[in-house]
Structure 1
């Protein structure tokens, strides 16, 4: 007889307590259940795994189903928000504004601030000025500060929020497209386009709302030619870098200060001289029409003088494809003198060959005098309308001064700031328009 295999005590105890699965469930029954499950398996929808569907069948309560959905949502990747870099720009010095080459010299301080991340301590927005010409000088320094701009250390145990404060001093020549339609009563915007090398998904540039940008009017080196306004305009936009290997969208921050040209030089050295030359063209009618050669000689000299004077003035401006206010005035004067010259040749021919009365020449003088007065009134009106835009800029200065005064702590400081601003505006109002 074959002897039964000897089993261990632990196994015997498990059989007695019905703990072993092989002892509690027959093998045939187990195979049958597996086969039946494979035959009666129903297709699942939305690619839900079988174990999840079985778990949902087991979970009869609403709380269990909600917990399962929360676990599935936690598996999805989280969207990382871009960093916000707040900027403040201070124009510490403005130099010459070159109208002919459309550029200006400036020394600015760019203050950038963003939240400090101990996991990525070396992160930097890599700011640069897009409209800089040539190589510009830069001095960069950075430090960690708290909400009160006090220095802190990265390993400090304070509960204050830590910021990275980067100070970038930039000096050089910057390009700016000048709008010369109202020259010499034009108002120009001098802008800096600050761009980050990071994409828009990683970094965006915003305005520092606690410390606004400002301009130092005392260090303006072109005060004899330009008037510098108090307010500073800012704007955040998105640009696309198309000339890179892979075009990316970048955040751009524009800071603009405004200057107005002092028109007094052009009043006395251009407008007045052209006015006198044109006025002399009317005095030629004092010469008898029987001597047209004398009239034509004087008018031709005035015409050549006006043309040479116009060429000397046009050297101050770039070769733009439109006419400025000064161009319109000088061209109108040239046409006026040319029309007088044509009439002098006509009246000399008619009197010598047809015996026409001299009264016609007198009536023509009245017509040309009326035209002279009318187009000078129109020129003065157009020039006045161009100067009206400076009143809008002065109003923007007042609002900006009130904004800065509102950030001061005491009432006395606010009152002194507003009074100081009013004194500056009163002293420079005459030079702005004359």
Structure 2
């Protein structure tokens, strides 16, 4: 009797175990893989890049495409741009197409694969953290963070490999201040949305275009003026060292002029916690003028009170002249290193042009596109570096 009850319990346990396994298999078979939403971004117009507030204006078209599912015909990834500032204007249209982008009907029997093609036009202002270490020879990236509202187990955002993203350089509204590059970089990542009862992992698509600041304005209106102010500090040695009051009057005037000039230039930049190339140059110039002022006070005291030979002033003049030349050489080297990054960006433009040319139907069209890119780069190379 005991043996039969034991066998009966074992049979019940085995049956319940089989039921659990079958339930898990049915539930796992019902889980659908995440949808792939391919994206293509077209920068149809770029406006002013405001360095002080770290933002830029843009009009972009986001083309999203995913497989049509009749059982979930109303499904949508609900894309939005995360780094948008304030309210942005959006226009959204969509239709069903085949693999050749021809319109089809949902019940079409002639088409095996149907896609949902959504075009979203977004106009607004977007935030971008600017890296100003190399200012005014800096290269900035202007990025859009496109996020899907649904979690990653429902959809993921990927690049459209057949139609890459592009930027319209002819409609760039800040061409007097910036140089817009041809190439665009994209990257897919995952972010977490914390404004919910349970954190949601969302697919994020980053699309970035690059602009380089045209440094010519700062060469002539900042660097040249500071150079002249600093150079004039060396001409003070033409005044006799036993007249320190005359020397100090000139150097203090130059020092105050440099401080006011630096303050007016600093208002063009946000309050960053590091020094830019221009900051380093102006600060070294201020230190140079200050050291000259200190020396003029010392030599006046030594000549008047201790009857020290005035020839020591000539040695100090030579020492300050060497220091003046050395730190200008170092500043020129630093500026050339910053400008070298622009050659790398131009090489990326050439590779991107070759990539786009490979997608044209004929060799002649592709060759013409590459040549057009090269001509455009050569014509703007001077303004890019000067």
TM-score (structure 2 length as normaliser): 0.96
Contact 1:236 1:251 in 2 (8 A): yes
Whether 2:13 is the aligned partner of 1:47: answer: yes
Per-residue deviation, residues 280-321 of structure 1 (Å, max 9, x unmatched): 000000000111100000000000000000011001000001
Whether contact under 8 Å (1:185, 1:387) holds in the other structure is yes
Q: Say if 2:43 and 2:58, in contact at 8 Å, map to a contact too.
A: yes
Following superposition, the deviation at residue 362 of structure 1 comes to 0.4
Cα deviation digits, residues 373-432 of structure 1 (max 9, x gap): 000000000000000000110111011000000001101101110111111011001110
CA distance in 2, matches of 1:110, 1:142: 12
Indicate the residue corresponding to 1:292 in structure 2: 244
CA distance in 2, matches of 1:337, 1:101: 32
The answer to whether the 8 A contact 1:114-1:165 is kept is yes
Work out whether 1:251 is the aligned partner of 2:203. yes
Q: Are the structure 2 counterparts of residues 270 and 167 from structure 1 closer, same or farther at C-alpha, using a change threshold of 3 Å? A: same
2:39 to 52, 73, 87: 87
Q: For residues 414 and 373 of structure 1, what CA distance do their matches in structure 2 show?
A: 50
Matches within 5 A, 1:259-338: 259-338=211-290
Q: 1:120 to 1:356 in 2, by over 3 A?
A: same
| CA distances 1:131-157 after superposition (whole Å, capped 9, x unpaired) | 000010000000000000001011211
1:236 paired residue among 174, 181, 188: 188
1:19-418 correspondence to structure 2 within 5 Å = 38=4, 41=7, 44=10, 47-49=13-15, 75=26, 77-78=28-29, 79-418=31-370
Provide the rounded CA distance (Å) in 2 between the counterparts of 1:202 and 1:284.
Answer: 74
Task: Tell whether the 8 Å contact from 1:147 to 1:160 is kept in structure 2 after alignment.
Answer: no
Deviation, 1:322, is 0.5
Q: Structure 2, unaligned stretches of length 5 or more?
A: none
SS of residue paired to 2:322: helix
- Separation (CA, whole Å) in 2 of partners of 1:73 and 1:372: 78
Alignment correspondent of 1:17 = none
Select between 236-245 and 219-228 the one with higher mean Cα deviation.
236-245
Q: 1:104 to 1:71 in 2, by over 3 A?
A: closer
SS in 2 for 1:85: strand
Deviation at 1:77, TM superposition (A): 2.9
RCO higher in structure (CA 8 A, sep ≥6): 2
SS in 2 for 1:313: helix
Q: Give 3-state SS (helix, strand or coil) of 2:10's partner.
A: coil
TM-score scaled by structure 1?
0.86
Structure 1 unaligned segments of length 5 or more: list them: 1-34, 53-67
For residue 209 of structure 1, give the secondary structure of its aligned residue in structure 2: coil
Equivalences, count: 385
Give the Cα separation in 2 of the matches to 1:263 and 1:332.
20
For the residue of structure 1 that corresponds to 2:294, the secondary structure is helix
| 1:47 alignment partner, SS class | helix
Contact 1:84 1:114 in 2 (8 A): yes
Q: Secondary structure at the match of 2:71?
A: coil
The CA deviation at 1:160 is 2.9
Residue 71 of structure 1: how far off its partner (Å): 7.4
Instruction: Tell me if the contact between 1:81 and 1:202 (Cα under 8 Å) persists in the aligned partners.
Output: yes
CA distance in 2, matches of 1:418, 1:331: 45
Q: CA deviation at 1:159?
A: 3.1
Cα RMSD (Å): 2.0
Query: CA 1:209/1:343 → structure 2, altered by over 3 Å: closer, same or farther?
Result: same
Distance in 2 between residues matched to 1:388 and 1:46, nearest whole Å: 76
Q: Give 4+ residue runs of structure 1 displaced > 6 Å after superposition.
A: 70-73
Query: How far off its partner does 1:245 sit?
Result: 2.8
Larger radius of gyration: 1
